[in-house]
Amino acid sequence: MTENTLPSYLSPEHLGPWQTYLSQIEAVAPHIEVSLRPWIETLRRPKRSLIVDVPLRRDNGEIVHFEGYRVHHNTSRGPGKGGVRYHPDVTLSEVMALSAWMTIKNAVVNVPYGGAKGGIRVDPKLLSMPELERMTRRYTSEINILLGPDKDIPAPDMNTNEQVMAWMMDTYSVNQGRTTTGVVTGKPISLGGSLGRRDATGRGVFVTACAAAAKIGLAIPGARIAVQGFGNVGEAAARIFHDAGSHLVAVQDVGGTIYHPAGIDPYALKQHLLVGGKIGEFPGATLIAPSEFWSLDCDILVPAAVEGQLTADNAVGIRAQMIVEGANGPTTPAADAILHERNVLVVPDVLANAGGVTVSYFEWVQDFSSFFWTEEEINARLARIMSEAFDAVWEVAGERGLPLRTAAFVVACKRVLAARAMRGLYP
């Protein structure tokens, strides 16, 4: 074994998001200055990965076990930061990839954090509220050694929300013997949460889409938008586009794929879902086959669900002018190559969905100073940071003839590796 042989858990058999991330790192390596290149290897392996057993006593007395994870990919620029995901498909390699994308994302928008991510392999829809609370508290205790407002700050991700963050904050605080609101972000407003956090990821998608649209001469009012995933990110993005005069022509979620060329009202769709309706039964829209979603005639496609959705198979049929990635890792490297070839502009996840962690940063700063900002201030600061990040990435892409994803990785990796090099290797 040579010193650079990958450990077995990082071997190529772990295809999927981690492999996607590694190929993104391969693409950026030639664009990093020679003096920083020796440090690239640190980006190819997480700093630390914790696997925990999460036992849960169910309401009927039965004890079941779930596997939980928390990964710190890199902390060169600051404490670990990133969400916690509850999903039956969560694996260590997925959490590793998500933590690595947080390292890149935080550096793209230049917030002073490293990258972290966590998750539990569980279907939370099968748990009662008290069970969800007990599982969250036990998971928080198990990963407690990694947590702290200056060590690792979790936030919501898929299937976790303000309530889950409140339980995490409370569990950590009880164990510390003092209330520490800054240990998680995405909290309820009543517990040190920030105005604007709930919509922040969707708003960031909108801000970057506007910046990209301006570059290709696409007007946002009247633009036809198709959104995959109608959760935290997709619903907010759809609503903000709608408010700006765009037409939400299609929505895809687990409950179905609907199409309506004149535009779906996202407020009415949300209400329909709140009262127990299925997406596929939304009045007025046409139910179409899930595979048809990708080749719909639209201007902006927003994948805002899970990884690996845009593949070589469906990328060839894309008719949208641009793709704005609300999800983390929705596009496979093969699809990326096809989209680049076909001149479809891809605004990558590490830029497009960075609005969430940007407002998480604002929340953390507000918690530390116990001084809270207005929603207008937050949205204005968010728009400024996202537009500046977009411009910096656009400039690098133009100068070097790179896709926006590689350009975003260039901007981010330079920041991370410069910090890493300055800190040096201990001992």
Residues that bind ligand GLU (CB under 6 A): 81-83, 155, 157, 185, 328, 353, 356-357, 360
Which one, 52 or 200, has the nearer CB to ligand GLU?
200
CB 22 within 8 A of CB 312: no
What minimum distance in Å lies between the beta carbon of 83 and ligand GLU?
Answer: 3
The CA–CA distances, whole Å, from 287 to 170, 201, 226, 249 equal: 43, 27, 14, 12
- Is residue 278 flagged as an active site residue? no
Which one, 334 or 365, has the nearer CB to ligand GLU?
365
What minimum distance in Å lies between the beta carbon of 105 and ligand GLU?
Answer: 6
- Positions of E strands within 147-254: 152-156, 224-228, 247-253
What minimum distance in Å lies between the beta carbon of 185 and ligand GLU?
Answer: 5
Q: Which of 418, 376, 303, 400 is nearest to 43 (CA)?
A: 418
- Positions of E strands within 107-191: 115-121, 152-156
Which one, 321 or 358, has the nearer CB to ligand GLU?
358
What minimum distance in Å lies between the beta carbon of 9 and ligand GLU?
Answer: 22
Which one, 194 or 321, has the nearer CB to ligand GLU?
194
CB 176 within 8 A of CB 182: no
Q: How far apart are CA 410 and CA 271, in angstroms?
A: 42
Catalytic residue among 117, 215, 278, 414: 117
Q: Which of 48, 226, 35 is nearest to 143 (CA)?
A: 48
Which one, 339 or 351, has the nearer CB to ligand GLU?
351
User: Among all residues, whose Cβ is closest to ligand GLU?
Assistant: 83
What minimum distance in Å lies between the beta carbon of 81 and ligand GLU?
Answer: 5
CB 330 within 8 A of CB 305: yes
- CB-based burial, 155-193: b 16+ in 10 Å, e otherwise: bbbbbbebebbbbbbbbbeeeeeeebbbbbbbbeeebbb
Active site residues: 117
